[in-house]
Structure formats: structure tokens, C-alpha cells
Amino acid sequence: METFAHRHLLDIEGLTRSEVERILDTAKAFFEVSRRPVRKVPTLRGKTVINLFYESSTRTRTSFELAGKRLSADVINMNISASSVSKGETLQDTCRTLAAMHPDVVVIRHWAAGAPNYVASRIDCSVINAGDGMHAHPTQALLDAFTIRRHRGTLENLVVTICGDVAHSRVARSNANLLKLFGCEVRVVGPRTLLPAAVDSLGVRVYDRLDEALEGADVVMVLRIQSERLEGALLPSLREYARTFGIGAKAMALAKPDAIVMHPGPMNRGVEIESEVADSDRSVVLSQVESGVAVRMALLYLLAGEATESPAIGEVG
């Protein structure tokens, strides 16, 4: 089989459409492993994966751990608060220390945009970006693409409406970049204060009104209101936000009758999404979680299971 052309996964930018398809097709092959009575294959036996999460996570961290273990890799989850980071060790020193133990892959989530690129340029193993600041969350975009393909049959030429806190969302940025590769019409909608200043540079259609943005949508992607990243009074109140931009059954009625609704999690029920939608037949939220394990298995396999010499995906400079 042809070698995967990248050593790291740092961003969706830098991936071609055929590389995305290769990742999704590989994930499809691994998907069934998680549904077997014995959920393990020997693919990465003897390989080591280190999860280094400087920000909290449920889905991404657990699914990377499961993905590595289901491929028979040795998986180490660093507990940052109990590590020497709490004694002031720098990111560079932490990574060089871990690199000296010869891991094959370091999976990193960090509050600073660009931290995974910084690490990738300083250590001699593959690095996967598990979310950096407000910059990128490439594995989320890949699992979202996998989920859309599973439920809609295709990724091509769909209308995808991304709702809410786009300004603080690495998920929105990575999804927009990926979906454009497949000719999708990507719409974003939310209060002006929660849209990035350079929203036009994302190559998306910008809407102020939810009803217009949802009309004819195949996919409704709801974003979490990121209270921890909101600086100042960007929202008058969560109640008003819910009334104007929250996704309930009435809003979903404006999308196509077979439209699906997605949320990367964790959800603020009653704020950006109502339970009547989150728990409905149109919701693929838990399917996203299941897809996440398969997509992360695919990435670990492509990056650690094959010899790789080429530049990083999304590598700066």
C-alpha cells in the first residue's frame, strides 16, 4: 500500500482531498473493530503513544486512548496536573523529556494556538494536534466528515450550517477547511460578536439570521458556547442567545427534512441546543463519538504503522 505522505497531523490545511478520503476509508476499515466482542487488533504492537492534554477533554482523550489500545499500542496518559508541568517545566523540556523515552506518537491538546507545531519541530516522533487554542481541531473535523459520510452517504456538495460561537471555535475552522475540499456550501451563523473578525477569509457564507442560514441545510452543526474563552460581555445573556440562536425543533424544521444535527460536545443543553433536538432521531452526536475512535485508529495507523519521511500536515514554513 502507498505510504501516507505526512509525518504529523497538525491541521486540515495541507491535506489534499484524496488524503482526507484515504483517512476516512482507513477509518471505515477500523470502524467494525469497536463493535466486535474482542475489540483489539495487533496492528501497532510494540508502538508507544503518549497523550499529553494541557486542557480538559472527555471525548478526544478517551478515544485516542481507546484507539491506541485497540490497535495494541502501549498508551501513556500524562496527568498534567500531577506532572512536572506543575513545577514550572516548559513545554519544550516536557516534550524533549518524553521524546527521550522514544514514543512513536505524541497526541497533544494545548490552550496555545501553534503548540503542536512547536512540539513537532522539536521532537523526533509523530505529533497529532488534539486541539490547540482557537486554532484547529483536525481530528474533530475528520470524525465529523466520517459521520456525515456515514449518515448522508456522501460529503460532496452538501449545505452545512455551522451555528454559534464561531469566533472561539477550532472545530468550525477545521470543519470549514475540510468541507470546502468536497465542494460543500459552508454557512456560519451567530451573533456578530461571536463571529471572527476575518470571517470572510474562511471562505464561508455569513448569516445574521438563523432562519435564513438553516433553509435547505443538509447538516446543522451546533457549536458549544465556550464560556471559558469568552472575554468581556460578548453576549447579553445566555437566555437571549438561546432564544435567538438556540437549535430547537422549530429551527430544525427549516433545514431539509432529512437533515442531521451534530455537536462536537460537550453540549450546553438549553443554550445552543435543546434536548428535544439533541436526543432526537436527527441527532448524530453519539455517532460522532463512535466515529472518533475509528478515525483516531486510522490516524495512529497511518502515522505510526508505516514509515513516514515527508513534511507535516499543516506544518508552518
Answer yes or no whether residue 177 interacts with ligand CP by CB under 6 A. Answer: no
63, HSE (Cβ side, Cα atoms, 13 Å): 24
CB 179 to ligand CP: min, Å: 17
Q: Which is nearer to ligand CP, 4 or 222 (CB)?
A: 222
Piece of 54-62, 206-214, 272-280, 306-314 that binds ligand CP (CB under 6 A):
54-62
CB 57 to ligand CP: min, Å: 3
CB 261 to ligand CP: min, Å: 15
Site for ligand CP in 114-153 (CB under 6 A): 131, 140
Q: Which is nearer to ligand CP, 205 or 229 (CB)?
A: 229
Q: Which is nearer to ligand CP, 7 or 169 (CB)?
A: 169
**Residue selected from 5, 28, 34, 59 as contacting ligand CP according to rule CB under 6 A:** 59
**Residue selected from 26, 48, 51, 60 as contacting ligand CP according to rule CB under 6 A:** 60
Chain residues that interact with ligand CP, rule: CB under 6 A: 57-60, 131, 140, 264-266
